[in-house]
Amino acid sequence: MGAFVADGYVPHVQEQLNSRFATGDALTEMIGFQKEFKLFSSPHTLRSAFTLLNIAPVGEKDRDGFLKYLYSLTKAKADVNGKPSNLSGHDQILASLKENLECPRPLPVYFDWHPAESPKGIVHVTTDQPFTFSGKNYLTISVPTVRSDRPKAGARKK
């Protein structure tokens, strides 16, 4: 995400995401939003869902960059628990959130980042324990990011 949003905002956005889907009242609220408004279902996009939830950087330029980043996930691939998905990264995130929030025992969700190069542009969705201090399972969604100091495509040496 670094190529779309200033470095200082990335942890802030991660905190917003993880707070919205945390264990307790936050998760209960998201379950209610899904039940009432089908927020993570077609025809909604991640852009519309996160805009409605007010999840984005504060600065206008970085907010626009974040929304462009969300759109860029429509071109990313995805895997679920290590198995390739037929959905784009964007659509897999929506489908995974929908399935989780509508299941009988929804898990809290942990959003994470990984380098886009390993492997190239893949959204990883897993069920695991992302915290060493807790034995609680989470739906973990890790999205590919590009370093902000990486040269732009047109500026790279060939």
pLDDT of residue 32: 97
CA–CA–CA angle 58, 61, 63 (5° rounding): 45
Q: Which of 61, 63, 33, 38 is nearest to 51 (CA)?
A: 63
pLDDT of residue 150: 58
Contacts of 126 (CB under 8 A, 6+ apart): 80, 81, 82, 139, 140, 142
Say if pTM beats, i.e. exceeds, 0.85: yes
pLDDT of residue 56: 84
Q: Tell me: the pLDDT tens digits for 68-124? A: 989 999 999 999 999 999 999 999 999 999 999 999 999 999 999 888 876 678 999
